[in-house]
Structure 1
Amino acid sequence: MKMIAIGDNVVDCYLDQQLYYPGGNAVNVAVHCKRNGFEECAYIGIFGNDKKADHIRRTLELEQVTYELSRQVFARSGAPGVQLVEGNRVFVAGPKDTAQHIVRLRLMPYDLEYIATFDVCHTSCYSNIEGELGSISKHCDISFDFSTNYSTEYLQAVCPHIRYAFFSGAELPEERLDLLIETCHSSGTAIVGITLGERGALFSRNGERYVQAVKPTTVVDTMGAGDSFIAGFLTSFIKHGDMEQALDYAADRAAVTCTFYGAYGYPHPFETEEAW
């Protein structure tokens, strides 16, 4: 099995610890897919040219996630601030002039030829890649994390190109969950998953519903738990094709991620010469 992630890379800056950790939805899913058993995982994104970008690349190398087709620009890395409140990560606005803000990735024919060698491509609403989804979908199944982007207009633009749709829906009432699932399916998406915080997760495969409870764990930090859930689901489902088995495995992996700091570890002290 092979997967590729396209999109964001950042460092999550833990203000109370004065440490930053590599992250970004695309990077997190790629790393966790490799840890879960994908034979090959790759990443395409836009790196800054600072020490934070060096640290992200170094961790990808350690995790055996290749990034050979990524770009680099003269800009600082995305660096959202993070505060932990009883183990729950709360984002604090970071700088808005980063590589993730000022440059949009455009895929070339050689990128698409490379993407075609993978089983699944993961990306998200944080990746500014919506205009490329039609091209990617001709070469590879797409997994897409919408986070809390529920607007019908956005769903109808994205869902025709993707196979897997993931949402964060802890605050949504039941009727909104039903509407969200129906809108995605009617637009062409086969599998829709909504994580619901302490309520677990609700998934639908072509209209057949599945419910997954959370797994008990000692919560240190919830950063990256949703990305780990996505990676666990993709790994198990693509390998076995069984929804219940995939959801159970995904919940296990999310629970493990809650037991350490950062989306996948690798703390680094703040650099004194670089303001957060």
Structure 2
Amino acid sequence: MVKKVDIAALGELLIDFTEAGVSKSGMKLFEQNPGGAPANLLTVASHFGYKTSFIGKVGKDMHGEFLRRTLQKEGIGTDSLIVDDRFFTTLAFVGIDKNGERNFSFSRKPGADTQLSAADLDRELLQNCRIFHFGSLSLTDEPAKTATLEAVQIARRAGSLISYDPNYRATLWENKESAVETMKSVIPLVDFMKVSDEESLLLTNTSDYMSAAQSLLNNGPKLVAITLGEDGVLIATADQKSVVPGFKIEAIDTTGAGDSFWGGFLSKYLSYGKSLEELEWEEIYECAVTGNAVAALCVQKRGGIPAIPTKFEVASFLNRKL
């Protein structure tokens, strides 16, 4: 059966209020940036020309309406985005240090994204996507946790590839132990997995990235990507492991870097029209190079979705750098 959607993603859709200088009176200013890891990834894929759709929930408020319009502007399907008048759209306040690294403070008690239920799921969409992507923020609270697990099973049964990005935000979990246990529990269900350098060590209790990659592969994924910041990414399969170097640039804001990398990786993967088992290692390597390029361009601007480059910008960047 031909799948109608290339990538469907479930999870948080929120506002990143990102530090943006100070007012005349010396007070910090925050810029309203649309974001959320799954939405960032879909934006990349949409920019690459793929059909995408978002599954989630926002509040019936000014932020929820802004986010819905943003997705539509980016060409992302919103038929499965639910607007709920009982809960407020989740907000994240993002502080940025001199290196572009971030710290987060969330307004999410509860946020609308945590209130997606299994009954809200668009089963037809889940059965008709080539890739289903989700992250761990939708596993922090019920009913979204149960809805996420149900969505994974529906997509798996329909033959979709399952993509997973564990995204550890300490303040959203009861404690580190429960966070690790929950984030690890879904790994056997996924085909592709992207994880940051710090999170790879957290989830595997190892001391180096090669060991972490092997530990994650042993739990079921066919491919693991460990992002290493400016050093690039470690790509690992059952047959081979390799670090794909990143591009040397000056980061302004690293929000969305990992999401944009993974969106670029999956977009390049889809362009080959092959299963992972059919790919040559050189093709997997090129997926990582594309992801690194998208991320390098993303971190040169503030915010998540607004910072994501076009396909033309990525191609131009690669032509200059390679």
TM-score norm. by structure 1 comes to: 0.86
**Is 2:72 aligned against 1:72?**
no
1:55 equivalent in structure 2: 66
SS in structure 2 opposite 1:252?
helix
Q: How does 1:129-140 map to 2 (within 5 A)?
A: 129=145, 130-132=148-150, 133-139=152-158, 140=160
Specify which of 134, 138, 151 is matched with residue 123 of structure 1.
134
| One-letter amino acid of the counterpart of residue 216, structure 1 | K
The CA deviation at 1:178 is: 3.4
Q: In structure 1, what is the equivalent of residue 6 of structure 2? A: 2
Cα deviation for residue 70 of structure 1 reads: 2.0
Contact 1:11 1:20 (C-alpha < 8 Å) held by counterparts: yes
**Contact 2:113–2:138 (CA under 8 A) maintained in structure 1:** no
Question: Structure 1 residues 188, 107: CA separation in 2 closer, same or farther (over 3 Å shift)?
Answer: farther
1:245 maps to which residue?
A: 286
1:220 and 2:252 aligned: yes
Per-residue deviation, residues 24-75 of structure 1 (Å, max 9, x unmatched) = 111111111111231x111010111111111111111111101102222221
Q: Report the alpha carbon displacement of residue 170 of structure 1 after superposing the two structures with TM.
A: 4.5
- Partners of 1:121 and 1:131 lie apart in 2 by 12
Q: 1:210 to 1:118 in 2, by over 3 A?
A: same
Matches of 1:72 and 1:53 in 2, distance apart? 7
AA of the residue aligned to 1:243: I
Kept in 1: contact 2:18–2:95 (CA 8 A)? yes
User: Do structure 1's residue 168 and structure 2's residue 196 form an aligned pair?
Assistant: yes
**Aligned with 2:107: secondary structure?**
coil
Quote the offset at 1:227 in angstroms: 0.4
Distance, in Å, in 1 between the alignment partners of 2:87 and 2:182 is 29
Corresponding residue for 2:166? 146
Matched-pair contact (CA < 8 Å) for 1:156–1:187:
no
Distance 2:7 2:137 in 1: 18
Contact 1:170 1:199 (8 Å CA) reproduced: no
- Kept in 2: contact 1:155–1:184 (CA 8 A): no
Of 23, 40, 45, the residue aligned with 1:33 is 45
CA distance in 2, matches of 1:256, 1:18: 22
The answer on 1:82 being equivalent to 2:101 is no
Where 1:75 maps in the other structure, the secondary structure is coil
The offset of 1:260, in angstroms, is: 1.2
Offset at 1:102?
A: 4.9
- Deviation digits for residues 195-223 of structure 1 (CA, Å, limit 9, x no counterpart): 11232211112241021111122322111
Aligned residues: 264
The range that moved more, 142-151 or 178-187, is: 142-151
Kept in 2, the 8 Å contact 1:170–1:195? The answer is no
Instruction: Return the alpha-carbon distance in structure 1 between the equivalents of residues 242 and 49 of structure 2.
Output: 24
Q: Per the alignment, do residues 57 and 156 of structure 1 end up closer, same or farther by CA in structure 2, a change over 3 Å counting?
A: closer
Structure 1 window deviating more from structure 2 (197-206 vs 255-264): it is 197-206
**1:133-170 residue CA offsets vs partner (Å, 9 max, x unmatched):** 22322121111001349987446521221111111114
Tell me the percent identity.
Answer: 21
1:41 and 1:22 map into 2 onto residues whose CA distance is 17
Q: Does 2:269 correspond to 1:257?
A: no
Q: 2:186 aligns with which of 150, 158, 176?
A: 158
* Gaps in structure 2 of 5+ consecutive residues: 20-27, 140-144, 169-175, 273-278, 308-322
Structure-1 separation of matches of 2:241 and 2:301? 31
Query: C-alpha distance in 1, partners of 2:154/2:40?
Result: 23
Return the alpha-carbon distance in structure 1 between the equivalents of residues 230 and 184 of structure 2. 29
Counterpart CA distance in 2 for 1:218 and 1:209 is 27
Aligned mates of 1:53, 1:212 — CA distance in 2? 38
- TM-score by length of structure 2 reads 0.75
Residue type of the alignment partner of 2:300: T
SS in 1 for 2:29: coil
C-alpha deviation, 1:114, in angstroms: 1.6
1:178 aligns with 2:206: no
* 1:195-214 equivalence runs, <5 A: 195-214=227-246
Q: Tell me the CA shift for residue 252 of structure 1.
A: 0.5
Contact persistence 2:91–2:108 (CA under 8 A):
no
Secondary structure of residue in 1 paired with 2:297: helix
Structure that is richer in helix per residue: 2
